[in-house]
Structure 1
Amino acid sequence: MRTPDPGLRAPVDVTDGLVTLGPEAVRLRAALDRVFTGWAAAAGAAEVLYPPLIPVADLARFDYFTNFPHLVLAATAVNTDAIADLPTHPAEPATTLGGHQLARAGLVLPSAACYNAYLSLAGSRLGEPVRFTTIAQCFRRETHYEGLRRLHGFTMREIIAVGDAETVKDHLTTHKDLVLGFAAHLGLDLTTEVATDPFFDANGSRAVMQRLFPTKEEFVADGGLAIASVNYHRNFFGERAEITYAGEEAHTSCVAFGMERWLHVLAGRFHGDWQAAAEAVASFPLPGGTA
């Protein structure tokens, strides 16, 4: 079924959580990404692209299947022993592939852009903090899908810092100010809310620390829609991926942007005038004094 998205007009089409962006929406997304990559460049973040799939064993190091089993989407091959049972034309819209038609899954579709980044540094001994940025197509199994607000597959831009605690926390403070300034420029009414992603064992000391010192703040618009977040993981990924900085377990943080959610709130803010939204984004001065 098609899900209407209030305030949006073509060129966006969403069917069962899968989105098609037309030229105007693509131009607006590109303008947004120029802002975010401009911030990344100003922070000295190298741009990297990672594989679109992650091995199950790698995600298991981060307790992913304990903390986020409800989001998991696995990627696997068709069982060639069951070829005779595979769907043929014409197939009903709700046609699926059953367990007997599939091989065992060793790969997972990522639900966030940063997991591969930390895995790429596994075993590293860093002598200085590192920053990098990446963009990825991400996937989440949800209880329901709703226009651009909640998608099966979506795009996430992240700016990531790895190093000592002070550096990675400063990374978040800087970008929090940038996000709020950008929102003010666009006339978006954003609030910040503490989130409670279960990164840590609910019964462990890290969970206690999380309650005392929040690790994630979301930037919320349009009636509770999180369009960006700042995330401090302390030394969790440094410990699990065996990344050290100056002889100690590295700390990590990331700033994340849900690109399609930004499209949604901007299309609403500019009453469906995609060109006006793109012009407003393009007029935002980037670090160094350019727009």
Structure 2
Amino acid sequence: MTATLTSAGLTWLPSGQAMLAGPLQQLFLECDTALAALAGDTGAEPAEHPVFLAVDDLERINYLASFPHLATFPVTLEESGLPAFAADPVDESGAVRLRGISPVRNVITPAACYHVYVQLRDQRIEGPRYLTFRNTCVRRETEYQPLRRQWSFRMREIVCLGSRAQVKAFLDRYRDLVSGLLIELGLEVSWQIATDPFFQPSRNPAYLAQRLNPTKHEAVFGGDLAIASVNLHEDHFGEAFSISTDEGPVSSGCVAFGLERWLYAITTRYGADPANWPDPVAAAGRVLERHR
């Protein structure tokens, strides 16, 4: 895959990151534009979020205990140790010699939607409320594959906050919209019940709860690659971040898209020649027109 897409603009880094240029970068932008257009169906508010999430905020949802294997941290050095570090910063293997690390108080964004709940913390809202955004997410993996499984990748999300009925209606509608877009693009997927990638899942009550009451469904391409997911959070984030309506903690749900995975799906289906690629923006327009 890497070799065949080099001419289309893919540069693969062994660290598990992809650089995009030329036609592949253009396809990335078109896919994101198409998904943002779907978000416009509800008038979702665009938002921009930072790179880091505070550990204190993630502790509200027990993230580090549930997903320690995925976390990547921004690390800085204590001022007092800088001269010694600068004198001998890298060891014989090419690894940085970390001495005197400052307290780590942030995590690099692992999922784009977490920022929304930090943003709306302690607020009372009139539901339903819809937001959409794109962020670079970072998740450590045991292995990396170009466009399929990366250390850093881009995620587009659409989030709904409101009553459980409003969130459920949002998720049902967006599953239909996403399915319609995938059909327009000629991408065959199967919708499958899924769980989040918990650490030691058999010991995690949240994993067991997802198995007993499925709240996550993924659009799986090629039998093993989730390119979109529809997620019902119930009032988990509303309660953790004190976001409420007149009836109590707000319910929430999100639709999430791994953008590099959409590139993988399209180029696997149509090949590396951009002349054969479909137009995601036009496809999204046709889907929205049918659902009006």
Alignment TM-score, normalising by the size of structure 1: 0.89
Q: Does 1:258 align with 2:258?
A: yes
What is the alpha-carbon distance in structure 2 between the residues aligned to residue 237 and residue 251 of structure 1? 8
Within the candidate set 1, 5, 15, 2:2 is matched to 5
Deviation string for 1:38-80 (max 9, x for gaps)? 1111112100001111111111111101111100111122233
Tell me the SS of whatever aligns to 2:191: strand
The residue number in structure 2 matching 1:77 is: 76
Deviation string for 1:156-199 (max 9, x for gaps)? 00000001001111111111111111111111110111111168
For the 8 Å contact 1:136–1:156, the answer to whether it is kept is: yes
- Counterpart of 2:246 in structure 1: which amino acid? A
The residue number in structure 2 matching 1:267 is: 267
Deviation string for 1:119-162 (max 9, x for gaps)? 11111111222100010000011111111111111000000000
The residue number in structure 1 matching 2:85 is: 86
What is the alpha-carbon distance in structure 2 between the residues aligned to residue 261 and residue 211 of structure 1? 25
More off after superposition, 210-219 vs 153-162 = 210-219
What is the alpha-carbon distance in structure 2 between the residues aligned to residue 153 and residue 80 of structure 1? 29
Tell me the SS of whatever aligns to 1:75: coil
For the 8 Å contact 1:76–1:106, the answer to whether it is kept is: no
Query: How large is the RMSD of aligned CA atoms in angstroms?
Result: 2.6
1:240 offset after TM fit, Å? Answer: 0.3
What is the alpha-carbon distance in structure 1 between the residues aligned to residue 89 and residue 243 of structure 2? 51
More off after superposition, 212-221 vs 254-263 = 212-221
The residue number in structure 2 matching 1:14 is: 12
* Equivalence map 1:229-240=2 (5 Å): 229-240=229-240
Q: Does 1:64 align with 2:63?
A: yes
Q: Does 1:141 align with 2:157?
A: no
96 and 102 in structure 1: CA distance in 2 versus 1, 3 angstrom threshold: farther
Tell me the SS of whatever aligns to 1:122: coil
For the 8 Å contact 1:162–1:168, the answer to whether it is kept is: yes
For the 8 Å contact 1:138–1:155, the answer to whether it is kept is: yes
Gaps of 5+ in 1: none
285 and 195 in structure 1: CA distance in 2 versus 1, 3 angstrom threshold: closer
More off after superposition, 264-273 vs 189-198 = 189-198
101 and 21 in structure 1: CA distance in 2 versus 1, 3 angstrom threshold: farther
Tell me the SS of whatever aligns to 1:37: helix
Alignment TM-score, normalising by the size of structure 2: 0.89
- Counterpart of 1:227 in structure 2: which amino acid? I
Tell me the SS of whatever aligns to 1:284: helix
88 and 39 in structure 1: CA distance in 2 versus 1, 3 angstrom threshold: farther
What is the alpha-carbon distance in structure 2 between the residues aligned to residue 154 and residue 104 of structure 1? 26
Gaps of 5+ in 2: none
Deviation string for 1:210-238 (max 9, x for gaps)? 33331101111124011110000101001
For the 8 Å contact 2:38–2:284, the answer to whether it is kept is: no
* Equivalence map 1:150-161=2 (5 Å): 150-161=149-160
